[in-house]
Amino acid sequence: MTDSKTIVVGITGGIAAYKAVGVVRLLVKAGHDVHVVPTEAALRFVGLPTWEAISRNSVTASLYDDVAAVRHVALGQAADLIVVAPATANSLAKLAAGLADDLLGTTVLASRAPLVVAPAMHTEMWSNPATRANVATLRERGVVVVGPGSGALTGTDVGEGRMSEPDEIVAAALRVLEASAAPAVPARDLDGLRVVVSAGGTREPLDPVRFLGNRSSGKQGVAFARAALARGAQVTLVAAHLAGEVDVAGLAVIDVTTASEMALAVESAAEIADVVVMAAAVADYRPASVSETKIKKDAEGDELTLRLVKNPDILAGLAAARRPGQTVVGFAAETAPTRDELLELGRTKATRKGADLLVVNLVGWAAGFGSDDNTVVVLDGAGSVVAESAGSKRAVADAVLDEVVRVRGGGGAGVGGAGEPSPSA
């Protein structure tokens, strides 16, 4: 039986409220004491008896019921976790502004419990700058945002904004609950270690004005650099075209453009590094020749054929050459329709690259590249799943660094790493 916790589930007024019944059911099934706090609008979609039956607790949306028990603060004070699903654009705005004009608002404000929100709305509302700003404010305060995913929306619309599935929301909520119960991450478990992180996307020039590139923003790599610094490491960031400025005290940054430049910079920094994390999206190929002048369409006609040659595989090279005590972490950016296929691609890459850990992330038009969040599965060198993480790129970085500390046999300098190159490297 799970250690039972008090979980408040806020339901706001969107059609996805019907899916939130599944969230409440799974949390109850996991052994938790679940209290549903719907808004008045939510009750237009799913009625009060359903919430009471599923949660096995009495439910009200009113600030004025049960006043003697000071319900508007009592629930918030008692909660170990608050989940708001679905979180409409309106409710995200209210949460960001700290409004307390209903029972859910007062409950959230009166609570010190971690907050998980599962947004659900139409694509235009989700991508509206006002919503983006509200979500960014909530994230800055440590709120965990689950989804939204892409798919069918109300009516005939299809796109980003669909509430994540109940099992995903519950898995994320339980991870937050577990993390909040666990003792804080050992503050400086990378103390004295030298860590090299690559971030961003390399660019391969075609001519003086054009290049072949990719959509990596560098957010994941920068999150690794920040996390490693916070855990006591001396960090060098090899940065290829990051989307934003990196102004982090104590961080050494080496800017590069092409895969070849990145190879030189990473290999040189790796000579004295204890841990190398290859989060950069490195071009596998580059143009066989770079034109000294702008390629002219008049001269090329209706079709232009580019001949590409392979770039060095930096990660495979690092893994093959790693010293005893050095830990090499790679990424695998894959597009796959199912988790099984994603893991299969990851396993093949783990064997081919020979790194100690391979962080597999699903990427696509709206996932992985450029986003603030990531969802990863961490494989060991043999392709076995050793960890999973979803959430902000910083949370993912910390979860992977936990694994780095584990494979090294503990925290700080002087502790050995996985060491010898694997036979497959």
Residues labelled as active-site residues: 214
By CB under 6 A, tell whether 239 contacts ligand PMT: no
Choosing from 43, 259, 265, 400, the residue that interacts with ligand PMT (CB under 6 A) is 259
Choosing from 135, 193, 282, 399, the residue that interacts with ligand PMT (CB under 6 A) is 282
Question: Minimal distance in Å, beta carbon 246 to ligand PMT?
Answer: 12
2-10, 16-24, 275-283, 299-307 -> range binding ligand PMT (CB under 6 A): 275-283
Choosing from 219, 226, 231, 322, the residue that interacts with ligand PMT (CB under 6 A) is 219
Choosing from 314, 343, 378, 407, the residue that interacts with ligand PMT (CB under 6 A) is 314
By CB under 6 A, tell whether 370 contacts ligand PMT: yes
Question: Minimal distance in Å, beta carbon 332 to ligand PMT?
Answer: 4
By CB under 6 A, tell whether 347 contacts ligand PMT: no
Choosing from 131, 134, 311, 327, the residue that interacts with ligand PMT (CB under 6 A) is 311
Choosing from 103, 145, 328, 363, the residue that interacts with ligand PMT (CB under 6 A) is 363
> How far, in Å, CA of 81 to CA of 177, rounded?
7
Q: Residues 204, 212: contact at Cβ < 8 Å?
A: yes
Q: Which residue has the tokens 């209210």?
A: 94
Closer to ligand PMT by Cβ: residue 50 or 216: 216
By CB under 6 A, tell whether 237 contacts ligand PMT: no
> How far, in Å, CA of 72 to CA of 93, rounded?
20
Question: Minimal distance in Å, beta carbon 359 to ligand PMT?
Answer: 7
By CB under 6 A, tell whether 213 contacts ligand PMT: no
Closer to ligand PMT by Cβ: residue 91 or 216: 216
By CB under 6 A, tell whether 224 contacts ligand PMT: no
By CB under 6 A, tell whether 265 contacts ligand PMT: no
Question: Minimal distance in Å, beta carbon 3 to ligand PMT?
Answer: 33
Task: Enumerate residues 371-400 that contact ligand PMT by CB under 6 A.
Answer: 393
Question: Minimal distance in Å, beta carbon 47 to ligand PMT?
Answer: 42
Closer to ligand PMT by Cβ: residue 110 or 359: 359
Q: Which residue has the tokens 């005939």?
A: 156
Question: Minimal distance in Å, beta carbon 357 to ligand PMT?
Answer: 10
- Per-residue contact string for residues 28-67; x = within reach of ligand PMT by CB under 6 A: ----------------------------------------
Q: Residues 83, 118: contact at Cβ < 8 Å?
A: yes
Closer to ligand PMT by Cβ: residue 75 or 363: 363
Amino acid at 55: S
The residues that touch ligand PMT, with contacts defined as CB under 6 A, are 216-220, 259, 278-282, 284, 311, 313-315, 330-333, 361, 363, 368-370, 393
